[in-house]
Structures are given as C-alpha cells and as structure tokens.
Amino acid sequence: MSKKIYIFDTTLRDGEQTPGANLNVDEKLQIARHLELLNVDIIEAGFPFSSPGDFAAVQAVAREIRGPQVAGLARAFEKDIDACWEAVKEATNPRIHTFISTSDIHLQHQMRKGRDEVLEMAVAAVKHATRYTSNVEFSAMDASRSDLAYVAQVFTAVIEAGATTVNFPDTVGYAIPHEFGAMIKYLVEHIPNIHQAVISVHCHNDLGLAVANTLAAIMNGAGQAECTINGLGERAGNASMEEVVMALATRKDLLHYHTDIVTQYIYPASRLVSKLSGVPVQPNKAIVGANAFAHESGIHQDGMLKEASTFEIMTPTTVGIKKSLLVLGKLSGRHAFKNKLQEMGYYLSDEELIRVFRRFKELADLKKKVFDEDLISLVETESIYKSVPEHFRLIELVVLTGTTVKPSATVRLEVGGEVKTLSTFGDGPIDAAFRAITDLARSKCRLLKFAVSSITGGTEALGEVSVRLEEDGHVVTGQGVDPDVVTASARAYINGLNRLHFLQEMGPRSKEKPVKL
C-alpha cells in the first residue's frame, strides 16, 4: 500500500502573489471550485488579515467549498489568527496556518528578535489558534536557511502546543534536492513527537528545483506538498501541482506514494488559472504547456503512430487534454457543436450555447479550421467572461495602420443602448482603439496589464488578449479572442470595462490590495 501525500494548494494565496496576478473574490471562487473538482486536500484561500478583499475571498471560499479543507494564512500574532478564524470558520474543516521566520538572517535583519523570543511567539500563536480549531499548521519561514537543530526545537514545541502540520518551506528557493531531502530526514530523526504531526514542504522555484525538492522531501518523510497550479507564486513561483502529482503518478514503480488528485481536471484547471490570473503558460511547460504532448521530430512521430508509449510517458487524456479528429468548420451545425463541446467536457446552458455558437460561426467565417484550443478559448471567454451584462458592446472597429501612416482607429460602441462613434490616432493601432473606447465609455480606469498570446501556431491563429484594469479599488481582468489581435484587444478591454461597470453598479466594495509578506 502506497503512502498518501496530502496536496495543499496555495494558488489562491502564494499563487496570487505572482506579480500582476491579483484575483478578485469571484475569480478566486471559480478557481476554488476547480480545486474542489481536482480533489485537493487543502485549499489555502488567502491571508485574511492582509486586506478586507482577501478576508472576503477566504470567507467566500470557506462558505461554498465543501470537499477540501480551507486554510487561511496568519502571522504569529493574535489579531492575525483571530481574523483568520473569522474568515475560515464556516468551512467543513477549517485550518489556521500560522508562520514565523526561524533563520538567523530573518531574525537579525527583518525581525530583530532572538531565537528564544521567536520560539515563544511560535508556541503562543499555535496555542491561540488551538482555542479555535485542532487543525493548525505551523510554518517556519526560511526554514531551509535556518539552523536545523533550532527548527527541530521549534517544531517539537509547536507540536506539543497542538500543531498537527509542521511546514518546512524553502522560502527563497535555495535548496538542492539531496540536501533538502536530508533536512527532512533530520527532522524525522530529531523531533521526538513528530508522529503527532504531518511534515509539509513548501518549495520555491528560484533555481528551477521546487518540484525536485518537493519529491526529495516526500521520499524522506514529508506527507504534505504545498504547490500551485501552473507553478504560480512569488518570484519564480512555487512547486507546480501538476508536476508533483504527475511525477508521483507516472513513477509509481519507483515512488510508492499517491495523491487523491483527479488528474483529468488538471488541464482545465491550468487553463482557468492562466486565464483569470492573466499569466500565460509557457509552451514548453511540463504537463500543461501547449507543446507538452506535441511530437515534432519525424522519428518520434513515426514511433507515436506505431505505439504511443515509444515516446510518451503519460497520455494527454490522463491530464484532461482531449485530442479529437473532429475538426469543426463553418458548415458545422449547432448539434455537432454541442456534442463537440460535451466531448471536451463543457456543458453549457442553452443561453450560453447560443452565444458561444454565434461567436463560433463568426470565427469559422474568418478561419477555415477551428481547432480544439480555439473552441476552449471561445467557450471560456464567452461563458465565463460574458457572465456580466454588456453595458458596453463593440459594434464596429476599423483600424488604419502601416509603415507610412499614423495609426488610427474608428470605434462604434453601444453604451447603455446608445450607439456612439469616434475616430482617434494612437501610437499604434491598439493604442488608437483603446483611446477611442476610453473616450466613448468615459472611463477613468487604469490599464495595469496587457498580454497577447496566440492559441495555435501559424499566422491564422486566434489571438487571445488579457487585460487587467483598475478603477476605484476594483481590479478586474478582461479577456478577448479574435483572429485579429487589434479586435481581440478591443474585445478584452470592453469586457474589462463591463466587469468594472458591473462592480460599480453593485456598489462600493472593499479595496483588494494584497499585502505582500
């Protein structure tokens, strides 16, 4: 019987600390629902004390998600722990995750405290948390650069105080796998009450070793892996959940561990997180990258056609990537379209289906072959993002650009039922289109981020644009898809404006600026 490894997903907490990847409450909930489908053991939903927005998101996740445990992060202060409990208490199985630094570098330069004082604070924090719940995790920040004997002393004391999970983070991504594994072995051998707690690891990817370090830790006694979808996270990110899970699943022959992750939901979760965070997945990313299962060399292709296992260590379907021979074109009917979507795992409401089908027909007119990736993008953009009313609607966009003309754009926009037109110049066609839309919509929002990617290769590929807008403390993501990147950009911008408009109509909300610690 293999040992179960608990998957602690921190996409909504550490993942959200990815520069530019702020998520609002709605977006966090959507991701949490996917994490529930994936069957992760614990969802770390945020850092409740850090901002009212984070508090609201953690609370919303705790209220709705029923399967996984829901954790909130808290510094080793009573007020942090109190706020954390308030936010998580309605979960089926709430967890308080409190932390303090243990490395001399952090103690001397950041906290200006001695080891004894930090030990006392850690024990006091865990004791305070156990007044609310027996499900308490303690993290020793910068553990991998700490004196191991001291970490063992702190862990022994916090387990004595009631911590049921002790987390050993490689906060700065400094460890090397065999070294990190040996550290975990040391803890197992030097903490007398270690059998009363689960050892967890939280690895960062600054040297590209987060997953390798996590596996080394598991092989030496760790029972919980902290990770994120797509490896999002502070700086170079965290251990990627899909890589940890698939390494364990693929090498069962060597690694006698298992997780309860439903791997078929990995790819849809990766897509969703990428879309909502606005952080694209690199094409050569393991497991979920666009090229992860693409075989380019002739010898490899020949082998694949004869027997997939010649060059494939796992099948795309295991992680939810469905390849189908059915390619849709402009003559495909709504029935075939609906079947195709269901085959891909998307069950839309009738209203959504009509909307997505209309966009599909427009697309099929412009593009001969519509690939699975194009459909996924359409479905996600139309069904997720059009869930807000269209106060602003693009009617027509004409751009003029080239090497010898000043770029200009003419936009016809429906604003609350009234059609308005404006032409403007810009530094480029996208800039011109955005200026025209901004004026027509009378928007004061700030563009925080703009990202373009193409979904499939080739010049006929669909352009996918993601924008992040901010106004009055509301931060939203807008998405647009079109074969023309200027049109895709305009659609993304208008989609973002609709989301901002919707939030403003809903009345003032708390500011959502995460505090980075």
Please report, as ranges, the residues that interact with Mn ion according to CB under 5 A: 14
Closest distance of CB 234 from Mn ion, Å: 5
Comparing every residue's Cβ against Mn ion, the nearest one is 14
**E strand map for 47-164:** 69-75, 94-101, 136-141
SS3 label, residue 199: strand
Compare residues 14 and 27 and give the one whose CB is closer to Mn ion.
14
Compare residues 203 and 497 and give the one whose CB is closer to Mn ion.
203
Number of other residues whose CB lies within 10 A of the CB of residue 315: 12
* Residue 69 CA to its chain's centroid (Å): 18
- What residues pair up with 165 in beta bridges, in sequence order? 137, 198
Closest distance of CB 51 from Mn ion, Å: 17
Closest distance of CB 17 from Mn ion, Å: 7
- What residues pair up with 43 in beta bridges, in sequence order? 9, 70
Please give the biggest Cα pair distance in the chain: 76
* Residue 208 CA to its chain's centroid (Å): 18
Closest distance of CB 202 from Mn ion, Å: 6
Closest distance of CB 204 from Mn ion, Å: 6
Contact between 158 and 126 under an 8 Å Cβ cutoff? The reply is yes
Compare residues 14 and 470 and give the one whose CB is closer to Mn ion.
14
Closest distance of CB 101 from Mn ion, Å: 12
Compare residues 231 and 320 and give the one whose CB is closer to Mn ion.
231
Compare residues 14 and 372 and give the one whose CB is closer to Mn ion.
14
Compare residues 14 and 512 and give the one whose CB is closer to Mn ion.
14
Closest distance of CB 473 from Mn ion, Å: 26
b/e code 96-126 from CB counts within 10 Å (16+ = b): bbbbbbbbeebbeeeeebeeeebbebbbbbb
Closest distance of CB 25 from Mn ion, Å: 22
Closest distance of CB 517 from Mn ion, Å: 10
Contact between 234 and 258 under an 8 Å Cβ cutoff? The reply is no
Compare residues 14 and 382 and give the one whose CB is closer to Mn ion.
14
Closest distance of CB 322 from Mn ion, Å: 33
Compare residues 17 and 59 and give the one whose CB is closer to Mn ion.
17
- The H-or-E segment that residue 470 falls in is strand 463-471
Compare residues 173 and 407 and give the one whose CB is closer to Mn ion.
173
SS3 label, residue 124: helix
Rounded CA-CA distance 194/208 in Å is 29
Q: Measured on CA atoms in the order 446, 269, 25, 7, is the torsion positive or negative?
A: negative
Compare residues 368 and 516 and give the one whose CB is closer to Mn ion.
516
Rounded CA-CA distance 368/377 in Å is 17
* Residue 316 CA to its chain's centroid (Å): 20
Rounded CA-CA distance 387/499 in Å is 9
Rg (CA), the chain: 25
